[in-house]
Amino acid sequence: MKVTVIGAGNVGATVAECVARKDMVEQVVLIDIVDGLPQGKALDMAQSAPIHLFDTRIVGTNDYADTANSDICVITAGLARKPGMSRDDLLGKNASIVQSVTQQFAAHSPNAIIIVVSNPLDVMTYVAYMASGFPSNRVMGMAGVLDTARYRAFISAELGVSVRDINALLMGGHGDTMVPLPRFTTVAGIPLPELMPAEKINAIVERTKFGGGEIVKLMGTSAWYAPGAAAAEMVEAIVKDSGRVLPCAVWLNGEFGQQGIFVGAPTRLGKNGVEEIVKIDLTADEMALMQHSSDDVRTNIEALKRIQSA
C-alpha cells in the first residue's frame, strides 16, 4: 500500500507521521511545491523510525511522478486560516490549489481514494470530486472525525471520564453549521443527556462548532495535531478494510433529504472507500438543522462558481 499526502505544512506532515507510525503501509509520499520542505520533513520522520519502531518508508518530493500508483491520497494543500478569517474566506484561493493538485495526482493514480482536509472542507471535497473524475465512493472529506474528537474531548474533560468510553456523532457541514447529535452520544453506552444537563450539553456543542476558530485565535493559525490524526484514522479504516463507521463528508444522493452535495454523514469505510452511508432516523428538529447546514454548503458552492466564472 502507498499513501500520498499533498501539502507538507503542519497538517500534511502530521498526517504523514501518524500514518507512518501506524506501520500499516509500505510507503508514504509527502509532496509539496516548496523545494526541500517535503524532503527535509520526510528525512526527519524517517530518522524517528528506530525510536518509534515503524518500517514504513517515507519519501519527500516535489514531483507528482513519485506519487504514481498510490492507493490513497490525503489533500491538505491550501492556505491556513488566520485570526478573523472564516473557512469560507479561503474559498476561491484554496479551490484553485485543490483543483490543480487533484488533477496532477489523479493523472498518476487513477484508481486511488481521495481524502480532502483543505478548507472550506465540504466545498473543497466537491472541487476534488469534480477535478478527479473519480466515482463518489472514492472521494470524501475529513470533517466529522475531527469534530467528534473535539466534542468527545470536551465531554471527557467535563465528566472526568476516559475518551475511550465516549462515542459521538455529528452531521452536516464542517464549521459553524455542523449538527452535533447529543442523543446519539454515549458514555459507556449511557446516553449523554442522562449524565449532563441540557444547558451544559448545549455549551459543549457550541464550543465544538467553533473549536477550530478557538485554536486560530490562540495560535494565529489553524490546528494540525487533531486534524492530522483524524485523517490518519480514516486512512487506517480504508487500508485495513475495517468497516469502521466514522462521520465523513460524503456525496449524498437522497440520503437525509440531500441531493448532489458533499456533507457530513455516518459512513462505513473500507477498501473501496465509502462502502455505505449509514441511515439513521432524524427528528424534525435535527432534519431542519441538517437542511440549514447543507444549504450553507450549497451557498458556498454557488459562490465558488461565481468566483470561477468572473
Percent of the chain with pLDDT over 90: 88
Inform me whether the pLDDT recorded for 32 exceeds 80.
Answer: yes
In whole angstroms, give the CA distance from residue 152 to residue 90.
27
Q: Which cell numbers in the block locate residue 153?
A: 474531548
Give the pLDDT score at 291: 96
* 14 φψ region: left (φ > 0), alpha (ψ -120 to 50), beta (else): alpha
> What is the arithmetic mean of pLDDT over 209-228?
93
Q: How many CA atoms lie within 13 A of 188 on its CB side?
A: 5
Counted residue by residue, the chain has a size of: 310
Q: Which three cell numbers stand for residue 242?
A: 475495517
pLDDT confidence band for 109 (50 / 70 / 90): very high
Please, which pLDDT band fits residue 89 given cuts at 50, 70 and 90? confident
Residue 308 is predicted with a pLDDT of 82
Q: Which of 158, 209, 211, 155 is nearest to 186 (CA)?
A: 155
For residue range 129-165, list pLDDT tens digits in order.
999 999 999 999 998 999 999 999 999 999 999 999 9
Neighbouring-strand partners of residue 116: 75, 141
Please tell me the predicted confidence (pLDDT) of residue 88: 63
268 burial (CB, 10 Å; 0-12 / 13-18 / 19+) is: middle
- Residue 243: which region, alpha, beta or left (left: phi > 0; alpha: psi -120 to 50)? left
Q: Which residues contact 101 (CB under 8 A, 6 or more apart)?
A: 6, 7, 75, 77
Q: Domain map of the chain by residue range?
A: 2-141, 144-305
Burial (CB count within 10 angstroms: exposed 0-12, middle 13-18, buried 19+), residue 9: buried
Q: What is the pLDDT of residue 87?
A: 57
Task: Return the number of other C-beta atoms located less than 10 Å from residue 36's C-beta.
Answer: 11
Phi, then psi, of 35 in degrees rounded to 5: -65, 130
- In 109-154 the beta strands, taken as DSSP E runs, fall at 113-116, 139-141
Residues 268-291 have a mean pLDDT of 96
d(CA 212, CA 86): 10
CATH match of 144-305 with 3.50.50.60:
no
For residue 85, the model assigns a pLDDT of: 66
* Mean pLDDT over each residue of the chain, to the nearest integer: 95
Of 280, 210, 215, residue with least CA distance to 247: 280
Q: Given this structure, which CATH class describes domain 2-141?
A: alpha beta
Instruction: Measure the N-to-C terminal CA separation of the chain; round to a whole number of Å.
Output: 42
Pairing state of beta strands 72-75 and 2-6?
parallel
HEC string for 193-251: HHCCCHHHHHHHHHHHHCHHHHHHHHHCCCCCHHHHHHHHHHHHHHHCCCCCEEEEEEE
- Would you please indicate which residues are annotated as catalytic (active-site) residues? 174
| pLDDT at residue 80 tops 80 | no
Q: Do domains 2-141 and 144-305 have the same CATH topology?
A: no
Instruction: For CA atoms 238, 221, 166, 282, give the dihedral sign.
Output: negative
